[in-house]
Amino acid sequence: MTAAAFDTLSAARDLKAAGIEPEHAEAIAEGMRRAATADRGESATKADLDTAVATLRTEIAQLETRLTWKALGIAGLILAAVKLIPPAY
């Protein structure tokens, strides 16, 4: 991905025209240039986020299924234990 050109001179002039001190305007414009041209290699795209959401939804569904089966198994054990315990009368 190529970085878009950022005109620091124009930005600094605009900031100066808005009443910002020249050295501050130049520092702000330089910071804006760095932000505009920074390497975005680590930034997530919408497609990356969509993939992550889909993966999480799948994992959550699988977890819900496992938990349901475990709950049913525990319920079965409780029912079996109740049937094995003789009445106390």
The Cα angle at residue 24 between residues 23 and 26, in degrees rounded to 5? 65
User: If DSSP codes are grouped into helix, strand and coil, which group holds residue 27?
Assistant: helix
Contact 11, 29 (CB under 8 A): yes
pLDDT tens-digit series, residues 35-84? 887 776 777 889 999 999 999 999 999 999 999 999 999 999 999 988 88
Count of structural domains, the chain: 2
Q: Say yes or no to pLDDT of 89 above 80.
A: no
pLDDT of residue 47: 94
Contact 29, 50 (CB under 8 A): no
CA gap 2, 4 in Å, rounded: 6
Q: Domain span at residue 83?
A: 44-89
Residues 3 and 16 in one domain: yes
Q: Which residue type sits at 35?
A: A
pTM of the model: 0.47
Residues 63 and 77 in one domain: yes
Q: What is the mean pLDDT of residues 11-26?
A: 92
Residues 39 and 54 in one domain: no
The tokens of 65 are what? Answer: 């299924």
pLDDT of residue 3: 47
Residues 49 and 89 in one domain: yes
Residues 54 and 77 in one domain: yes
Listed in sequence order, the DSSP H helices in the chain are: 8-17, 22-37, 46-84
